[in-house]
C-alpha cells in the first residue's frame, strides 16, 4: 500500500484526488486548514492533518514522520481579479506564498526521501493560466507559470532516481476557486451546460497516469472542457 500526501484536500480537486487514491487502495494523508472538512474526510477513513502550508517550519515538523510514495501539490488560491497596477501587495504576497513558496518548501521536504528510496511520483496542480495569458490574473498566471517551470525542471532532477513528476494543466474546473471572487450567479453561468471539467475527472486522470508502467512518465497532461479549444477558451456553440 503506497502512502499519498494530498494538499488542499478539503475541497474541489484535492478532495476528489484524496478520495480516489483511497478508493484505489492507497493510504492517504489529507492536508488542509478547514477542520470541519478534515473531520469529514477522517470519518471516511483518511488520515488528516490540519496544516497551514505557508508556515514552513510548522509544516516541515508536522510531516517529518511521513515517507510518501505519492505527493500531490494541489493547494492554491486565486487573488482578487483586477488590473495588476491596482493589486494589493498583501494579496500578491499571499498568492506567491501559497501557490509557489509553500509548494517549493513541501516538495523540498519530501522529494529527498523519494530520491533516497528510488521511487515516487510527484504531481502539481497547475493551470492553463500558467501557459497562456489571462487579463486581470497577472499574479496568478505568474505563480502557475513558475510551477510549470519548476515541475519540468524537477522531473529532470528526479528522473535518474526513478521518481516521476507530472504537472496537471487544468482548464475550467468546477471548484470553489472563484467562490470569494465572483457572485454565485456568475459562477453558475460559468459552469452551466457541462462547460467545466469536474474534480472527479481530474482525479481519474491522475490515477490513470499513476497506473502507467514505472518506465513511463507523463510530464504534463492538459484536461479541459471539450468545447475549450484553446487555453483561453472559445465560445460554446449553441444547439
Give the catalytic positions in this structure: 140
How far is residue 209 from each of residues 3, 44, 87, 168, 203, measured CA to CA in Å? Answer: 16, 24, 37, 10, 10
Amino acid at each position: 500500500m503506497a502512502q499519498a500526501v494530498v494538499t488542499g484536500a478539503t475541497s474541489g480537486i484535492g478532495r476528489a484526488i484524496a478520495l480516489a487514491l483511497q478508493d484505489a487502495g492507497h493510504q492517504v494523508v489529507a492536508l488542509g486548514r478547514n477542520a470541519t472538512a478534515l473531520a469529514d474526510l477522517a470519518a471516511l477513513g483518511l488520515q488528516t492533518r490540519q496544516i497551514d502550508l505557508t508556515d514552513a517550519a510548522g509544516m516541515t515538523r508536522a510531516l517529518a514522520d511521513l515517507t510518501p510514495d505519492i505527493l500531490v501539490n494541489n493547494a492554491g488560491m486565486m487573488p482578487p481579479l483586477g488590473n495588476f497596477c491596482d493589486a494589493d501587495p498583501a494579496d500578491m504576497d499571499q498568492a506567491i506564498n501559497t501557490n509557489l513558496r509553500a509548494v517549493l518548501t513541501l516538495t523540498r521536504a519530501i522529494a529527498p526521501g523519494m530520491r533516497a528510496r528510488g521511487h515516487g511520483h510527484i504531481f502539481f496542480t497547475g493551470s492553463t493560466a500558467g501557459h497562456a495569458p489571462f487579463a486581470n490574473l497577472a499574479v496568478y498566471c505568474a505563480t502557475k507559470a513558475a510551477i510549470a517551470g519548476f515541475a519540468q525542471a524537477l522531473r529532470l532532477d528526479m528522473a535518474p532516481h526513478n521518481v516521476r513528476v507530472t504537472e496537471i494543466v487544468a482548464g475550467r474546473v468546477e471548484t470553489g476557486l472563484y467562490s470569494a471572487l465572483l457572485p454565485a450567479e456568475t459562477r453558475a453561468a460559468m459552469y452551466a451546460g457541462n462547460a467545466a471539467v469536474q474534480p472527479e475527472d481530474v482525479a481519474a486522470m491522475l490515477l490513470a497516469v499513476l497506473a502507467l508502467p514505472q518506465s513511463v512518465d507523463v510530464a504534463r497532461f492538459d484536461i479541459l472542457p471539450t468545447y475549450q479549444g484553446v487555453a483561453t477558451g472559445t465560445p460554446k456553440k449553441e444547439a
